[in-house]
Structure formats: structure tokens, C-alpha cells
């Protein structure tokens, strides 16, 4: 199992996951919601719910482009009750932050995560400072995480300050 100490800001990763079948539990004008197939409900959670995850319908939206997870057929073609395929195609991302949670974070599912990686798709990281997605490192999703390198320079886009100048590519 990977841990937060395996990663640093600026790491270049390749994320992927084999397909599985899921059910659409809800839909509205902007999103479809699928029952998340991994983990189990947390009976002690302050956030009980259906264990669903939202997927933006519009492929041009940041919400759609920032997620590594995809649905087939695409969200725009799905309605409540449909069955679809959930997968993560090989996607290059750049780690922008690492969070550690003590005590572990209540997300409504077990196990409760103790760490998370926040990342941006590699092709978008320079232009969209607050875009991105998050993965919890100690959950049961069968996500494959591969290190593929490190940025030559990691610039804090808010302050403009260089945080690292080492090259590990």
C-alpha cells in the first residue's frame, strides 16, 4: 500500500484503474451520480448517504476534465437506473498537495482515509490554479499509481515562489 510519504509536490504520476460495472443512482441537469463500488458505508459517519460520486455531464466543464475517473457511456448519455462502466484510463497528473488526516477523515465510507493526494491533469496544471481532483491513499479503490518523474521546477502559483528546483525526470 502507498503512503503519503511516497509523494512530494510536483511529482508526475500515471493513474489508471481497470473497468467495473456501476449503477447510476441519480441525475440532474449538470451531473449524474453513480454508486461507488468500493468501500462500505461508515455506520459512525456524520455524512451518511448513498455512497455515490458525481460526474459532470458536460465534457467541456472543469469538473469533467479534472477527474481521472470516466464513465462509458459518457455522463451526458446516462439517466437514473442505467448501468455503465466506471474506469480510469491511463492519465498523467501532477501532485499539487498532500494532506494528512489525524484522526482519519470522515468521508462516509470505510476505511476512513489518513492521507490524500491533490493533483491536476498534467496538461492543465499551469493554466488552472484551483482545478484538480483528490484521491485518498488508503482506500480500497484498485487505482494503479505509477511515478513517472518530477517537475524541474515547482512554482507556487499563488505566491510565485519557487518551492523546488530539483529534477528527477
> Tell me: the pLDDT tens digits for 48-73?
766 889 999 999 888 888 889 999 99
Which grid cell is 16?
489508471
Residue 119: inside a domain: yes
CB atoms within 10 A of CB 36: 18
Say if residue 112's pLDDT is above 70.
yes
% of the chain with per-residue pLDDT over 90: 55
Residue 28: inside a domain: yes
What's the CA gap between 49 and 138, in Å, rounded? 20
Q: What is the pLDDT of residue 49?
A: 66
Residue 120 banded pLDDT, cuts 50, 70, 90:
confident
Range of the structural domain that residue 24 is part of: 4-164
Q: What is the pLDDT of residue 126?
A: 52
| Pick from 67, 38, 72: nearest CA to 52 | 38
Residue 5 banded pLDDT, cuts 50, 70, 90:
confident
DSSP 153: -
Q: What is the pLDDT of residue 166?
A: 41
160 versus 110: which is more confidently predicted? 110
Lowest mean pLDDT among 18-27, 29-38, 85-94, 139-148: 139-148
What is the residue-averaged pLDDT of the chain? 85
- Residue 6: half-sphere exposure toward Cβ, Cα within 13 Å: 13
pTM attached to this predicted model:
0.82
Tell me how many helices (H) and strands (E) the chain has.
1, 12
Which grid cell is 65?
476534465
Q: What is the pLDDT of residue 64?
A: 87
Residue 21 banded pLDDT, cuts 50, 70, 90:
very high
Residue 169: inside a domain: no
Q: What is the pLDDT of residue 47?
A: 82
Cis peptide before 109 (omega within 30 of 0): no
Number of domains into which the chain is organized: 1
Q: What is the pLDDT of residue 13?
A: 95
Query: How far, in Å, are 6, 34, 74, 77, 149 from residue 25 at the CA level?
Result: 35, 5, 15, 14, 38
Amino acid at each position: 500500500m502507498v503512503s503519503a510519504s511516497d509523494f512530494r509536490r510536483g511529482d508526475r504520476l500515471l493513474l489508471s484503474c481497470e473497468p467495473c460495472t456501476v449503477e447510476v443512482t441519480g441525475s440532474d441537469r449538470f451531473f449524474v451520480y453513480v454508486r461507488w463500488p468500493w468501500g462500505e458505508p461508515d455506520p459512525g459517519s456524520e455524512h451518511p448517504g448513498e455512497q455515490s460520486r458525481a460526474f459532470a455531464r458536460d465534457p467541456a466543464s472543469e469538473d469533467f476534465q479534472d477527474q481521472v475517473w470516466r464513465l462509458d457511456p459518457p455522463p451526458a448519455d446516462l439517466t437514473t437506473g442505467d448501468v455503465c462502466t466506471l474506469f480510469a484510463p491511463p492519465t498523467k497528473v501532477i501532485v499539487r498537495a498532500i494532506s494528512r488526516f489525524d484522526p482519519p477523515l470522515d468521508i462516509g465510507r470505510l476505511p476512513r482515509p489518513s492521507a490524500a493526494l491533490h493533483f491536476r491533469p498534467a496538461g492543465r496544471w499551469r493554466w488552472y490554479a484551483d482545478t484538480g481532483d483528490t484521491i485518498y491513499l488508503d482506500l480500497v479503490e484498485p487505482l494503479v499509481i505509477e511515478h513517472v518523474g518530477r517537475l524541474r521546477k515547482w512554482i507556487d502559483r499563488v505566491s510565485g515562489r519557487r518551492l523546488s528546483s530539483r529534477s528527477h525526470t
